[in-house]
């Protein structure tokens, strides 16, 4: 097993409140609506707050992934911090033993924010995750959040 970590920081042209609400609090509602080509549906177990579990089911376009089951560990509305662990599916069981994501949303102005993302993982074997795989994880996360931003810009009343 090899432990690893990667970081990503992105900026968005929408308020921290709207981005937080859409991508952290209501992701189980928004992702299938915004990116239906990849999300077939979501099952929410709990109220969406810390302690909840979200099962995201993917379309065939997301192969080799068919689903991911995430456990929400932290959903802090005051600090705009989300932390969750993938407990099943995704790359867990394929190449990773575990992976945890932490998102910190920060206001840059009334109409702009940044999101700092930290991904911590342990591999199944004694090889580190390759640079190409890390870039794929980062790119997938960035594309998803940019899709949320695009939706919020096109729909100014959404998540207001």
What CATH number has the domain bearing residue 88? Answer: 3.30.530.20
Within-domain flag for 113: yes
Question: Does 10 have pLDDT greater than 90?
Answer: yes
Please report whether residue 134 resides in a domain: yes
**Structure tokens given for 27:** 């992701």
Number of other CB atoms surrounding residue 64 within 10 Å: 8
Residue 137 lies in a domain: yes
Any domain includes 160: no
- pLDDT, tens digit, 9 for 90 and up, residues 82-117: 999 999 998 898 888 999 999 999 999 999 999 999
Q: What is the pLDDT of residues 27-74, one digit of tens each?
A: 999 999 999 999 999 999 999 999 999 999 999 998 888 999 999 999
What pLDDT score was predicted for residue 45? 97
Instruction: Evaluate whether residue 159 is within a structural domain.
Output: no
What's the chain's length in residues? 160
Q: Domain limits at 95? A: 3-154
Phi and psi, residue 90, nearest 5°: 60, -135
Q: Considering the domain boundaries, does residue 69 fall inside one? A: yes
In this prediction, what percent of the chain has a pLDDT beyond 70?
100
Residue 135: pLDDT over 90: no
Are residues 108 and 128 in contact, defined by beta-carbon separation less than 8 angstroms? no
126 pLDDT more than 90: no
How much is the pLDDT for 38? 94
In a domain, 143, yes or no: yes
Cβ atoms 89, 69 nearer than 8 A: yes
Number of domains comprising the chain: 1
């Amino acid at each position: 097993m090899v432990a690893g970590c990667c970081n990503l920081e992105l900026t968005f042209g929408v308020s921290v409140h709207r981005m937080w609400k859409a991508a952290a609090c209501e992701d189980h509602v928004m992702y299938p609506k915004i990116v239906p080509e990849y999300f077939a549906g979501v099952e929410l177990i709990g109220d969406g707050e810390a302690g909840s579990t979200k099962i995201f089911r993917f379309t065939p376009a997301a192969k080799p992934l068919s689903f991911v089951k995430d456990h929400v560990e932290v959903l802090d509305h005051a600090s705009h911090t989300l932390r969750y662990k993938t407990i099943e599916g995704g790359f867990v069981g394929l190449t990773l033993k575990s992976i945890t994501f932490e998102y910190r949303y920060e206001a840059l102005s009334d109409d702009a924010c940044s999101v700092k993302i930290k991904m911590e993982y342990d591999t199944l074997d004694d090889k580190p995750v390759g640079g190409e795989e890390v870039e794929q994880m980062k790119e997938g996360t960035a594309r998803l959040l940019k899709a949320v931003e695009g939706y919020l810009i096109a729909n100014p009343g959404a998540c207001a």
